[in-house]
Structure 1
Amino acid sequence: MTTTKYPTLIPRFLRYVKINTRSDENSTTIPSSEREVKFLQQLVTELKEIGLTDAVYHDDNGYVTATIPSNIDRTVPTIGFLAHVDTADFNAEGVNPQIVKNYDGHSVIPLDKKGEYTLDPKDFPALKKYQGHTLITTDGSTLLGSDDKSGVAEIFSLVEYLLAHPEIEHGDIRIGFGPDEEIGTGADHFKVPRFNADFAYTVDGGPLGQLEYETFSAAALHVDIKGKNVHPSTAYHTMINAIQLGIDYQNALPQNEVPEETKDREGFFHLLSFNGTPDHAELDYIIRDFERSGLTARKEKAQAIADQLNSQLDEPRVTVEMHDQYYNMIDVMKDHMDVVKLAEQAMHNLDITPDETPVRGGTDGSKISFMGLPTPNLFAGGENMHGRFEFVSEQTMAQAVDVLVEIVKLNAADH
């Protein structure tokens, strides 16, 4: 299998990943980084160049939208395809993609020149699935950015293919590229009425066949600890070390309910950062559970630990702040399984086996579905995302475009 059916797919992807579009969780702007704005505005120009004249960048939410106009005289549901442009919190400056042609499925792939970092099938057994594929990897110093530059490039190839093949019947198709998915804020500002689609798909998944419509429910937890710092020489029964309180808080959480000890449908508490001095400390967590009731129980546990610690202190010194981030999209998708079945049929028609394993994470589609637009997630091809071991198969990226085209065909044929 080759990617010649979509000749700009890989060149566009390679060009895009070299552009740093990392989001900034400490920012209060929309989008969170100016580099995202510049890239999104660049996408508007490129969409217009390939023929989507209504492409526009929306200043109020950082989304780019455009339309492939219907080429038939009957009414069919309007599909949306969405991808995000930002990359995760790993080095994204100086991305230097490496090409491994006709991978044999068992060799160790060196990433950097010193050989310090490698893709070894012993560590990453998924490599064995890619015998005969052309792989795109990092050089070991950055992430790749397949999450979600693969999705962006694949949607562009869908647009180009449909415009070049007017014999393929379709209704209106809405295109969207957004910011800040990796910091969990981009979809908060998505405008469902303005997007004007009947249903949508995010093209933001991983390996071949992923079709995701069940996610974690999620909350963020911030723990603020006020210590009492005095000189160690006079600290006896006086000092209250905020760092030690932070350690006590962490140790009071269930030690086996962490990402590295959980799988399948098990939830967790994940400590993201711990900073402090004896005078003041802060801990940041994410809390995840597939069940809304489970998320609530975990939040109650987080508060109860703070209450217990405070009960032993001279005054309340441990404060927790929590906010929900997104909920399991199955709560919405269970009433819109026709959208899932359309994608299932498209994959079956292409001899791709759908993998509908629940996502141990979330997507923009989680929030957008709860806004009233059913939006499951489709594979884009990436493996080992968010770090130096990330890679993607050229052939899988082409198959992702095949699925998008097939969804469009089936949607028109069914109406």
Structure 2
Amino acid sequence: MLKYLNSGNSLQNRFIEYVKIDTQSDPASASIPSTAKQKDLGRVLVAQLLDIGIADAHMDEYGYVYATIPSNSDKNVPVICFCSHMDTSPDCSGFGVKPIVHSNYQGQDLVLPDDPAIVLKMTGHPDLKDQIGNDIITASGTTLLGADNKAGLAEIMEAAAFLVQHPGLKHGTIKILFTPDEEIGRGVDKADLKKLGADFAYTIDGETRGSIEDETFSADGAVLLIHGLSSHPGFAKGKMESAIRILGDMISSLPKDRLAPEATAQKEGFLHTVSVQGNVEQAEAHFIIRDFDDDLLAEHGRTLKTLVKGVMADYPNSTYELRIKEQYRNMKKVLDQYPQVLEYGMLAIERAGIPVKKQSIRGGTDGSRLSLMGLPCPNIFAGEHAFHGKQEWVSLQDMEKAVETIVNLVQIWEEKSS
């Protein structure tokens, strides 16, 4: 069987080109995409898809990139989509990324030159122990790298080029979808699934080599707005009820030994304050609520409401508004109805010669919402690590295995079809 080879370092070159393009999304923006600069990368991807020979590649008005590799099989093969997102996290700057390739890693500390205080150590990044002899790519210390999810973009693009160049590898129709704004929870808001026309999909947005994920958090978001009572501070006794203080009391009332990100792991959910702003008269906080179980998720929301009411009882002249909104739901309930989607993904990883790591995501992907929208979509590793921060890294050899997995996967779907 013909296997993918990273000839001419094309995979590395693609990835480095993509991470240098700033595509940070903005949760405060109401536009679609939230930042116009995401389309800068979209245009590059479309041009490269066209150069590969994929004639229908295009970007729509919302910044979504669509493309099709036609079937070369005479079998009735389900249409398979591969999806990655173009934006990077608002949590850390993605402007002026300077990628550094640390060739032939031997277990040493990786000091990032633009901020020597940022050091990647094996003790803090245990997956580095499996990277001896590999090539590790980081940023320079002032930005995130953007492997989340530009590693996935590069891997899908590389697999597409390989498949087009090797028509002897049999496969059904393959769809490609690149989305904006995944990092702010809007990644599939304007995805046109009818136009996409896929039966099943895979996001390429996971972490550790060999991992495949069929379960995500269910997620809600909450906004708490406090209306306090303002007064001149020199004459405030018995009058002022500062919205800032009220909000501080509220945040302090959240559990610290449970229901907090820093106190939970595996299948445990949490309540987490992600931003605060305000003044004496009015203050606002945003929260995320997470759990794998929808009933527990609802219970966490009720906990938040109870805590707010308890704090507000001490401030009789102030009022509040608490809004809880659904964000996405655990995709497992959908994927369990289509076991072959996960089974074929695991087989593709095994054929790449690496152990399968079936696991759950303490987070979400575009696949969460795509699954609930009727497009079953587990998540396959892209090799990204320590995402959303300056210590983000990826292994070139893990990325090569991701490409090989994609190539294997489309062949498996063809083999299993009649």
Q: Same fold by TM (over 0.5)?
A: yes
Runs of 5+ unmatched residues, structure 2: none
Partner of residue 199, structure 2: 198
- Establish whether residue 62 from structure 1 lines up as the match of residue 63 from structure 2: yes
Once the 2 structures are TM-superposed, how far is the Cα of residue 313 of structure 1 from its aligned partner?
3.2
Once the 2 structures are TM-superposed, how far is the Cα of residue 73 of structure 1 from its aligned partner?
2.1
SS at match of 2:205: strand
Amino acid at match of 1:407: L
Partner of residue 310, structure 1: 312
The answer to whether the 8 Å contact 1:112/1:141 transfers is: no
Partner of residue 343, structure 2: 341
Q: Aligned equivalents of 1:255 and 1:109: distance in 2? A: 33
Runs of 5+ unmatched residues, structure 1: none
The answer to whether the 8 Å contact 1:79/1:174 transfers is: yes
Partner of residue 96, structure 1: 98
The answer to whether the 8 Å contact 1:380/1:400 transfers is: yes
Partner of residue 149, structure 1: 150
Q: Aligned equivalents of 1:278 and 1:113: distance in 2? A: 40
Q: Are the structure 2 counterparts of residues 3 and 231 from structure 1 closer, same or farther at C-alpha, using a change threshold of 3 Å?
A: farther
Q: Aligned equivalents of 1:340 and 1:2: distance in 2? A: 22
SS at match of 1:220: strand
- CA deviation string 1:290-334 (max 9, x = no partner): 100011111111222223333443345121111010001111111
Partner of residue 406, structure 1: 408
TM-score (normalizing by structure 1): 0.96
Q: Which moved more, 1:254-263 or 1:81-90?
A: 254-263
- Establish whether residue 46 from structure 1 lines up as the match of residue 48 from structure 2: yes
- Establish whether residue 159 from structure 1 lines up as the match of residue 199 from structure 2: no
Identity level (%) = 38
Partner of residue 330, structure 1: 332
- CA deviation string 1:125-156 (max 9, x = no partner): 22111100011111011000000111111111
Partner of residue 250, structure 1: 251
SS at match of 1:76: coil
Partner of residue 283, structure 1: 285
Q: Aligned equivalents of 2:318 and 2:241: distance in 1? A: 12
Q: Aligned equivalents of 1:77 and 1:285: distance in 2? A: 40
Q: Aligned equivalents of 1:49 and 1:64: distance in 2? A: 15
Once the 2 structures are TM-superposed, how far is the Cα of residue 180 of structure 1 from its aligned partner?
0.3
Q: Aligned equivalents of 2:46 and 2:4: distance in 1? A: 28
Once the 2 structures are TM-superposed, how far is the Cα of residue 355 of structure 1 from its aligned partner?
1.4
Amino acid at match of 2:174: I
Q: Aligned equivalents of 2:111 and 2:161: distance in 1? A: 35
SS at match of 1:213: strand
Counterpart among 16, 25, 35 of residue 23 in structure 1: 25
Amino acid at match of 2:53: G
Amino acid at match of 2:14: R
The answer to whether the 8 Å contact 1:169/1:412 transfers is: yes
- CA deviation string 1:192-223 (max 9, x = no partner): 22110110000111120110110000011111
SS at match of 1:136: strand
TM-score (normalizing by structure 2): 0.96
Amino acid at match of 2:193: V
SS at match of 2:68: strand
SS at match of 2:220: strand
Q: Describe how 1:319-398 pairs up with structure 2 within 5 A.
A: 319-398=321-400
The answer to whether the 8 Å contact 2:228/2:317 transfers is: no
Task: Count matched residues.
Answer: 413
Q: Aligned equivalents of 1:120 and 1:16: distance in 2? A: 26
Q: Aligned equivalents of 1:119 and 1:2: distance in 2? A: 30
Amino acid at match of 2:105: Y
Partner of residue 87, structure 1: 88
- Establish whether residue 35 from structure 1 lines up as the match of residue 34 from structure 2: no
The answer to whether the 8 Å contact 1:365/1:377 transfers is: yes
